[in-house]
Amino acid sequence: MVFTGNFYRMKNDKLKAAERIKKLRELISDYRYHYHVLDESVMSEAAADSLKHELTQLEDQYPDLITPDSPTQRVAGEPISGFRTIGHRIPMLSLNDVFNQIELEAWIKRIKKFLPPSVRLEYFMDLKMDGFAAALVYEDGILTSAVTRGDGRVGEDVTANVRTIESVPLRLRKAAGYEKFLKGRTEIRGEIVMYKKDFSRLNESRAASGQPLFANPRNTAAGTIRQLNPNLVAERPLHFHSYDILRDDPGEVVTNNFAYKAIRELGLQANSETKLAKDSKDILDFANQWEEKRAKLPFNTDGLVIKVNDRLLYARLGVVGKAPRGAAAYKYPAEQATTKVKDIFISIGRTGSATPVAILEPVLVAGSTVQMATLHNESEVKRKDIRVGDTVIIHKAGDIIPEVIEPLLRLRTGTEKEFTMPLDCPECSTRLVKLKADEAVWRCPNNSCPSRVWKRIQHYASKAALDIEGLGEKNVIALLNSGLINDTADIYELKKEDLLGLDRFAEISATKLVNAIQSQKTPPLARFLYGLGIRHVGVQTAVDLANRFKRLDTLGNATFNDLREVEGVGDIVAESILFWFEDDDNQRILAKFRSLGVWPQDVKTVGGKLSGKRFVVTGSLESMSREEAAERIRALGGTFQSSLGKDTDYLVVGANVGANKLARAEKFGTHVIHEKQLLGLLN
């Protein structure tokens, strides 16, 4: 046989894969041991899933490398000892996941095929709690047993422990119209959850007494309920949130909506954040609405549970594998994943900050592909010991810039390269400096550094500043490269004919951009101030400064003490503002703006009618966006707050406000008003 170079390459690839598989298996097994046995966390579940995914892919590629002890070969269901087991009369099923609109609609289409076309389906939605499932059995209204889900057919008898949970009544409540549930067998299923705040408190006290920390609230709840000592369980605050009620005669509970009502009437807790939906749009609206708001819930949730509301139809739809066909879990995308660092480069920001950024092998996190992640600064890279070639855990939530949490040291091969901070700016070769010796951030001090210039112009044109459409990153760079502009003020001199000379513009786009720029010659002072890109002057500080000083010239002449009098302006911000106005380059730009007829409007509202009043807007408004509401409130002297606090005067409620918010508002004595009333105040 003749071996070609190709053969050796393939053999080499396989050897590398075998090496990687071995390390991945060790790491995943270690994760499982810590998670399931020690109730400790070595990484998030999402990161471990990401590693499992990589392992599965490698095993798919080299099936002969699969071994029976690989984590991919595990059958679900953990054996537990120490408790008596009890069989479930009706299996406790799991749910199939859907992750997006397409999968959701495919599920709806699938179930409709099993039902007559005339059936109009209605869906019942609840938050999917991240807890530990259990079934409570009441005989003639008295709690007789509590059983964990186990493998779905048989679970552990945890009655003694569940009896210590305050929200589990030992006897069902008598309620008019619900008497029949107190006769015979009533089974109530739900999730045992530990609230986030209780979990943090518990971990804080464990840290204080030197005990290992718990991984997350779900594991802690599970670990607690499987304690053999009920006294210990009683010390840990757990809650039972019910989601199902079963009777021998299923006809007694006709809808899932009714099931929740019955549960509450009988004295158990069920989530109030439920809703009925008629189609995928309603479901997606509900899901989107909770995606952000869920952070404020007392418990963790990673999605929704959607069930066909009519329980007869739900039963008719049957079971596929281990999950009911008539229900699905709509899961929010995982916010963590693992990937490899391909390189580390230095990004120079608008204010000169030199930030190390990791270039990553593209990976899907929280619904979008991530290719870069900030490493913050040199000391962070050193502290976390992130090297080029490392497999790292990355985190991304919503719009937040992805960041590298940690490298997985056990996956290192020895070929990883340590990072060294360059001495000079990679864009303009100026020596990097630290403004203060103890600062973590290195900066490029050159105001004309190309990277700083284009980021400054892009910032000036950004939505929260001058909002000039068509002046994004690519166009700004093209304009700078062509020499048509050199600084922010130059954009006002651009002519349509100039733009037409560039590849990126045609008649319409050129006209639009020039008009967009010209329409922003006398912007509101706050926006202009924010657009100048003064370090530490964010949107709110810009508004506060504008309201206080009214004119740009007055602000430019303000002393340190004048500045310090503004709410939210501390020593650092005040210094930064003074520094900006003292800089010759900045004075030159201001003079150029003025000579081009570009100058912010003076603030005229002397003690606006909302002055001193603080507002929070929750839910979506019909007549305006949140940003618009904020701007209009501020224009009248009011303050727009992002979260409800003791000092909030008005809570403006839009569509779908949660009961929690309203309760808090009542506690704080905040006036709750609707959009109409807000409009009344604004007009």
Catalytic residue selected from 52, 128, 455, 661: 128
The residue type found at 150 is G
Smallest separation, CB 130 to ligand IVH (Å): 7
For position 332 contacting ligand IVH by CB under 6 A, the verdict is: no
Nearer to ligand IVH, 29 or 96 (CB): 96
- 389 with 408: CB under 8 angstroms? no
For position 253 contacting ligand IVH by CB under 6 A, the verdict is: no
Q: How far apart are CA 100 and CA 102, in angstroms?
A: 6
Q: How far apart are CA 318 and CA 252, in angstroms?
A: 19
Residue 471 CB partners (closer than 8 Å, separation 6+) = 457, 458, 461, 491, 513, 516, 517
Token reading at 23: 């390390």
Smallest separation, CB 191 to ligand IVH (Å): 5
For position 243 contacting ligand IVH by CB under 6 A, the verdict is: yes
Question: Which residue has the CB atom at the shortest distance from ligand IVH?
Answer: 133
Smallest separation, CB 334 to ligand IVH (Å): 15
Smallest separation, CB 329 to ligand IVH (Å): 5
For position 327 contacting ligand IVH by CB under 6 A, the verdict is: yes
Contacting residue, 24, 28, 58, 95, with ligand IVH by CB under 6 A = 95
Contacting residue, 56, 94, 101, 347, with ligand IVH by CB under 6 A = 94
- CA 86 from chain center: how many Å? 39
Nearer to ligand IVH, 95 or 537 (CB): 95
Q: How far apart are CA 421 and CA 344, in angstroms?
A: 10
Q: Which stretch binds ligand IVH (CB under 6 A): 41-49, 54-62, 87-95, 572-580?
A: 87-95
Contacting residue, 155, 217, 324, 349, with ligand IVH by CB under 6 A = 324
Smallest separation, CB 415 to ligand IVH (Å): 41
Smallest separation, CB 589 to ligand IVH (Å): 56
For position 370 contacting ligand IVH by CB under 6 A, the verdict is: no
**Binders in 170-209 for ligand IVH, by CB under 6 A:** 191
Nearer to ligand IVH, 127 or 534 (CB): 127
Smallest CA-to-CA distance from 563 within 541, 582, 539 is with: 541
Q: Which stretch binds ligand IVH (CB under 6 A): 128-136, 362-370, 405-413, 431-439?
A: 128-136
Q: Which stretch binds ligand IVH (CB under 6 A): 104-112, 324-332, 493-501, 662-670?
A: 324-332
Smallest CA-to-CA distance from 422 within 359, 349, 347 is with: 347
Smallest separation, CB 149 to ligand IVH (Å): 6
Whole-angstrom Cα Rg for the chain: 30
- Bridge partners for 442 per DSSP: 354
Q: How far apart are CA 546 and CA 540, in angstroms?
A: 10
For position 299 contacting ligand IVH by CB under 6 A, the verdict is: no
Contacting residue, 39, 45, 126, 390, with ligand IVH by CB under 6 A = 126
Site size toward ligand IVH, by CB under 6 A = 16
Nearer to ligand IVH, 149 or 376 (CB): 149
- 551 with 575: CB under 8 angstroms? no
Annotation says 613 is catalytic: no
Q: How far apart are CA 443 and CA 675, in angstroms?
A: 46
- Bridge partners for 395 per DSSP: 336, 403
Q: How far apart are CA 447 and CA 683, in angstroms?
A: 44
- 560 with 574: CB under 8 angstroms? yes
Instruction: Write b or e for each residue in 430-439: b if 16 or more Cβ atoms lie within 10 A of its Cβ, otherwise e.
Output: bebeeeeeee
Contacting residue, 28, 98, 104, 129, with ligand IVH by CB under 6 A = 129
Question: How big is the CA angle at 356 (ends 355 and 360), to the nearest 5 degrees?
Answer: 130
Smallest separation, CB 91 to ligand IVH (Å): 9
Q: Which stretch binds ligand IVH (CB under 6 A): 125-133, 396-404, 539-547, 635-643?
A: 125-133
- Bridge partners for 327 per DSSP: 307
Smallest separation, CB 96 to ligand IVH (Å): 9
Nearer to ligand IVH, 244 or 487 (CB): 244
Smallest separation, CB 131 to ligand IVH (Å): 7
For position 93 contacting ligand IVH by CB under 6 A, the verdict is: yes
Instruction: Write b or e for each residue in 566-605: b if 16 or more Cβ atoms lie within 10 A of its Cβ, otherwise e.
Output: beebeeebbebbbebbeeeebeebbebbeeeebbbbebee
Nearer to ligand IVH, 324 or 658 (CB): 324
Q: What is the DSSP string of 477-515?
A: HHHHHTTS-SSGGGGGG--HHHHHTSTT--HHHHHHHHH
Smallest separation, CB 126 to ligand IVH (Å): 4
Nearer to ligand IVH, 307 or 452 (CB): 307
For position 305 contacting ligand IVH by CB under 6 A, the verdict is: yes
Contacting residue, 66, 182, 329, 502, with ligand IVH by CB under 6 A = 329
Nearer to ligand IVH, 89 or 594 (CB): 89
Nearer to ligand IVH, 188 or 375 (CB): 188
Length of the chain: 683
The phi, psi pair for 19, rounded to 5°, reads -60, -45
Number of C-beta neighbours around residue 276 at 10 A? 14
Nearer to ligand IVH, 187 or 191 (CB): 191
Q: In this structure, what DSSP letter does residue 266 have?
A: T
Contacting residue, 128, 293, 396, 443, with ligand IVH by CB under 6 A = 128
Q: Measure Cα distances from 429 to 358, 377, 433, 578 in Å.
A: 21, 19, 12, 27
Nearer to ligand IVH, 168 or 305 (CB): 305
Question: How big is the CA angle at 343 (ends 338 and 346), to the nearest 5 degrees?
Answer: 115
For position 133 contacting ligand IVH by CB under 6 A, the verdict is: yes
For position 150 contacting ligand IVH by CB under 6 A, the verdict is: no
Q: Which stretch binds ligand IVH (CB under 6 A): 123-131, 357-365, 516-524, 650-658?
A: 123-131
Token reading at 232: 């210990």
For position 297 contacting ligand IVH by CB under 6 A, the verdict is: no
Token reading at 580: 């900006």
Residues annotated as part of the active site:
128
Residues at the contact surface with ligand IVH, assessed by CB under 6 A? 93-95, 126-129, 133, 149, 191, 243-244, 305, 324, 327, 329
